[in-house]
Amino acid sequence: MKILVPLKRVADPDNANKIKIPAGGAKIDTSGLEWKPNPFDEYAVEAALRLTENGATPKQRGGEAIVVTFGPKETETTLRSALATGADRAIRVDAQDDALDGHLLARALKTLVLREKPDVVLMGKQAVDGDSNQVGQMLAEMLGWPMATFAATIKEEEGALLVGREVDGGVLTLRVKLPAVVTVDLRIVAPTSVYSKQTAPTFKYNDGVRFAALPAIMSAKKKPLVEVKLGDLAADTNLSIKYLSFEPPPARKAGVKVKSVPELVEKLVNEAKVL
């Protein structure tokens, strides 16, 4: 199976409360925060690796996982990390973050998909910086492919994937015939979430994503990484969403610590008046 994984780097999501919005709100300043792979995309890479191997022998690749990112030269670090965990090759589409939006990304990815002809495009359901949650759905429509979003489980079948989607009120299971677009949710990296046809149904993965060993980090430097121009993939690079300004969230006023349960209940009744 050949899988294309679009990957984005984001400002450290665990320190997202440290972003700064300068007076006037012209931009969001993430300087001082480390770049990290978007967690959902990192999970998509892990899912792609699981689908292209026998879980018991992960060093033998049983397919191809191609990672692609859109960004300046320095985003190649994110691609190299994905190569070090097992992805086979990488593509960087040269672009600036603020010259991209979901619709443009989907248009550019469509061209790339038509060139690379993967069986599956596997990606995070959203990037946790813009929280825009749309590229996978748009790409599927533009390609005329079936899609399964918010995947918590994926099981490979002959020419198809059985996907358990986390939706409101439960899990909705779809069978999508390949080629297809799948976007992944948090639980996709649980021990029994993803099974390729080669992996035994009794096999259990470690929870979470795999880490790269030092030799793999070294050899990842030799894996193919090509650069493509955004204009080569999308003739029209106009944006459909224009951001005018930004503002910080409303501050919550400082709360109090109570000493006991009776004091808490007393305050909820008499002060907050919510009981």
Partner 1 sequence: MANVLVVAEFSEGKLKKTTHSAVTFAQSVAKGTGGSFSILAIGAGAKASSGELAGFGAAKVFIADHASVANYVCERFAPTVVATAKKGFDVVVAAASAYGKDLIPRVAAALGAGYANDISSVKVEGAKLTYRRPMFAGNAYGFCEVTTPIQAVSVRQSEFAPAQPSGSATPVEDIALAPPSAGADRVEFVSFDQVKSERPELAEAGVVVSGGRALKERFKEVLDPLADALGAAVGASRAACDAGYAPSDLQVGQTGKVVAPKLYFAIGISGAIQHLAGMKGSKVIVAINKDAEAPIFQVADYGLVADLFQAVPELVTQIRKAKSA
143 makes contact with partner 1 (CB under 8 A) = yes
Q: Shortest Cβ distance from residue 39 to partner 1 (Å)?
A: 9
Looking at the Cβ atoms of 89 and 267, the one nearer to partner 1 is 267
Q: What is the CA radius of gyration of the chain?
A: 21
Looking at the Cβ atoms of 178 and 216, the one nearer to partner 1 is 178
User: Which residue in 103, 109, 121, 220 binds partner 1 (CB under 8 A)?
Assistant: 103
249 makes contact with partner 1 (CB under 8 A) = yes
User: Which residue in 22, 26, 96, 141 binds partner 1 (CB under 8 A)?
Assistant: 141
204 makes contact with partner 1 (CB under 8 A) = no
The size of the chain, in residues, is 275
Query: In the window 18-77, what residues touch partner 1 (CB under 8 A)?
Result: 19, 21, 28, 40
User: Which residue in 82, 100, 112, 147 binds partner 1 (CB under 8 A)?
Assistant: 147
Looking at the Cβ atoms of 17 and 202, the one nearer to partner 1 is 17
197 makes contact with partner 1 (CB under 8 A) = no
The window from 45-53, 91-99, 126-134, 220-228 that contacts partner 1 (CB under 8 A) reads 126-134
Query: In the window 228-247, what residues touch partner 1 (CB under 8 A)?
Result: 238-247
* Distance separating alpha carbons of residues 175 and 182, to the nearest angstrom: 11
Q: Shortest Cβ distance from residue 56 to partner 1 (Å)?
A: 24
Q: Is the dihedral of CA 238, 241, 245, 248 positive or negative?
A: negative
* Distance separating alpha carbons of residues 256 and 214, to the nearest angstrom: 48
User: Which residue in 23, 214, 235, 256 binds partner 1 (CB under 8 A)?
Assistant: 256
* Distance separating alpha carbons of residues 59 and 274, to the nearest angstrom: 57
Vertex 64 angle, CA 1 and 219, to 5°: 160
User: Which residue in 98, 131, 158, 222 binds partner 1 (CB under 8 A)?
Assistant: 131
As to burial, measured by CB atoms within 10 angstroms (0-12 exposed, 13-18 middle, 19+ buried), residue 207 is: exposed
Task: Extract the tokens encoding 70.
Answer: 């859109």
User: Which residue in 23, 214, 235, 261 binds partner 1 (CB under 8 A)?
Assistant: 261
Among the listed residues 125, 17, 122, the one whose alpha carbon sits nearest the alpha carbon of residue 67: 122
Q: Shortest Cβ distance from residue 67 to partner 1 (Å)?
A: 21
Q: Is the dihedral of CA 34, 44, 2, 205 positive or negative?
A: positive
* Distance separating alpha carbons of residues 46 and 39, to the nearest angstrom: 11
